[in-house]
């Protein structure tokens, strides 16, 4: 039997003599500092919550809810998002980081700039069941390296970076997108219905004077914008909103777009309502009266993409189609499913059942659109794939179909309305119940 040499008992590295090669100090002071910092970090939010502080929505999404144990492993993957959203001092920390970046480096803190983002306008469309699965449409604006989610212009103006990327990196050629929109028009008109196409201009198109001298995509987006409007001007059924927006800006002495939001102000919303009504029934707006009755304050969408919270302000109007009766409605908060409005017909109203299929520019105008129509349905197209049958029914029930799309969505080609499967299905549904 071999005699083993005696072994010393195992000891912690810190207990070894300092001269020993394996000696490692405990770093007691540093460990204590780290422990205190961790306790403060994790207990401070709880104490602030107990004393009434609550986290706010500082980004373009609702606060994450506490995950359920029943979700299995998703409980652990969803927990960080909940914990991050519940930091009551997060907004102040972001503001401080932005202030430090601007003071030291002369530029804003890069909160997610250049990362994938759907932004204020819903990005990747939901596919209709059984629709074509084009891999090109899986990319949404903001996914390309180098492009900014928000472009900071002069005099405090902010611009949505997708306005630029949509022109420089489209998912399908403009000619193909317009050809498919024309196929939708022909399907509507062949069933005896009327078709109107309205394109909401990007803010970069209508208010370019506040853009910075240099930004990613400038060299390709500016000529692409000119080509875009030269091309769509020849599209059948197209209503050009740019002249009316220019007139509104001259009357106001300022653009009809928010400096810190991607949408137009209520002046633009009233203008859209007038232009659609005139396109359907020329002269119907002769008696219309609109006058301001006060200010509306809301949350601007572009600062949230930079980790900030800012208000936007616009004048609220009454819209009186007969010159004396205000017919405005509360703005829509949810238009994923068709929303139907009915009102007595009268002087200054379009009486033909009308469907407006639009995006967030339609939602931003939803206070005024019902005022000009006695039978109106509003439907948001970005998520219409989740409600296929109600969408098809809305097309069938209408005698006039108005398609409102924002410029960047047409330029990029990322539109569920131009899905070939959807066009075929809506054409068949309308053909079965034509309007004569």
CB proximity list for 258: less than 8 A, separation 6 or greater: 264, 265, 300, 312, 314
pLDDT of 72: 66
Domain assignment of residue 105, yes or no: no
Quick one: pLDDT at residue 388? 84
Using CA atoms, how far residue 419 sits from 43, 87, 185, 414, in Å, is 51, 42, 13, 9
Count how many domains the chain has: 1
How far from chain centre, in Å, is Cα 145?
20
Domain membership of residue 264 (yes or no) is yes
Residue 283, domain member (yes or no): yes
Give the list of residues 6+ apart from residue 110 with CB closer than 8 angstroms, or none: none
pLDDT (0 to 100) of residue 236? 93
The pLDDT averaged over each successive group of 10 residues in the chain (436 residues) is 63 69 64 72 66 57 65 64 63 57 54 47 37 38 66 95 95 96 97 97 97 95 97 95 96 95 96 97 96 94 91 96 95 88 93 96 96 96 80 95 97 93 96 92
- Given this model, what pLDDT does residue 334 score? 83
pLDDT of residue 48: 65
* Assigned token pair, 264: 């137009």
Contact 197, 238 (CB under 8 A): yes
Q: Would you tell me how many other CB atoms lie within 10 Å of the CB of residue 273?
A: 26
Distance from C-alpha of 436 to C-alpha of 431, rounded to nearest angstrom:
11
Query: Is 101 within a domain?
Result: no
Residue 22 covered by a domain: no
Residue listed under structure tokens 């939901």: 126
- Domain for residue 399, yes or no? yes
- Residues composing the chain: 436
Instruction: State the DSSP string of 332-391.
Output: PS--SS-EEEE----TT-B-S-EEEEE-HHHHHTTTTGGGGBSEEEEEESTTGGGGHHHH
> What φ, ψ does residue 351 adopt, rounded to 5°?
-95, -20
DSSP 8-class letter at 270: H
| Other Cβ atoms closer than 10 A to 21 | 5
According to DSSP, the residues that pair with 402 across neighbouring strands are 196, 356
- Contacts of 147 by beta carbon, 8 Å cutoff, 6+ apart: 114, 141, 161, 164, 165, 168, 169, 216, 217
Residue ranges making up the domain that contains 399: 135-432
pLDDT at 222: 96
Determine, yes or no, domain membership for 103.
no
pLDDT on residue 125: 33
Hey, what's the torsion of the CAs at 75, 80, 85, 86, to 10 degrees?
Answer: 80
Tell me what pLDDT residue 109 has.
55
Residue 272 lies in a domain: yes
Q: Where are the beta strands (DSSP E) in 77-144?
A: none
């Amino acid at each position: 039997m071999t005699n083993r040499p005696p072994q010393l008992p195992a000891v912690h590295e810190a207990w070894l003599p300092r001269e020993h090669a394996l000696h490692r100090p405990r770093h007691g002071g540093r460990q204590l500092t780290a422990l205190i910092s961790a306790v403060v970090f994790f207990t401070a939010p709880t104490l602030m919550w107990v004393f009434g502080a609550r986290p706010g929505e500082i980004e373009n999404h609702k606060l994450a809810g506490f995950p359920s144990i029943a979700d299995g492993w998703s409980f652990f993957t969803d927990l960080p998002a909940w914990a991050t959203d519940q930091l009551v001092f997060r907004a102040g920390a972001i503001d401080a980081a932005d202030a430090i970046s601007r003071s030291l480096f002369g530029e804003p803190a890069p909160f997610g700039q250049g990362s994938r983002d759907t932004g204020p306008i819903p990005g990747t469309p939901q596919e209709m069941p059984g629709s074509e699965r084009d891999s090109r449409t899986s990319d949404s604006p903001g996914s390309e390296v180098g492009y900014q989610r928000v472009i900071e212009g002069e005099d405090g103006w902010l611009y949505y970076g997708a306005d630029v990327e949509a022109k420089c990196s489209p998912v399908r050629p403009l000619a193909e997108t317009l050809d498919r929109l024309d196929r939708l028009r022909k399907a509507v008109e062949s069933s005896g219905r009327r078709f109107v196409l309205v394109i909401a201009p990007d803010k970069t198109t209508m208010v370019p004077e506040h853009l910075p001298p240099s930004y990613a995509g400038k060299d390709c987006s500016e000529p692409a914008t000119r080509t875009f409007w030269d091309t769509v001007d020849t599209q059948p059924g197209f209503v050009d909103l740019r002249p009316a927006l220019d007139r509104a800006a001259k009357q106001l002495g300022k653009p009809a777009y928010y400096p810190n939001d991607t949408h137009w102000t209520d002046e633009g919303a009233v203008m859209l309502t007038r232009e659609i009504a005139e396109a359907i029934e020329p002269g119907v707006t002769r008696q219309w009266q609109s006058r301001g009755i006060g200010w509306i304050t809301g949350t601007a969408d572009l600062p949230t993409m930079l980790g900030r919270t800012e208000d936007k302000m616009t004048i609220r109007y009454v819209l009186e189609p007969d010159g004396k009766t205000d017919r405005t409605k509360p703005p829509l908060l949810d238009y994923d499913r068709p929303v139907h409005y009915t009102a007595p017909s009268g002087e200054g109203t379009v009486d033909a059942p009308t469907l407006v299929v639009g995006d967030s520019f339609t939602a931003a105008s939803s206070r005024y659109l019902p005022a000009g129509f006695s039978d109106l349905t509003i439907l948001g197209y970005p998520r219409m794939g989740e409600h296929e049958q109600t969408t098809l029914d809305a097309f069938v029930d209408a005698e006039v179909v108005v398609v409102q799309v924002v410029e960047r969505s047409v330029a990029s080609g990322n539109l569920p309305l131009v899905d070939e499967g959807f066009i075929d299905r809506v054409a068949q549904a309308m053909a079965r119940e034509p309007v004569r």
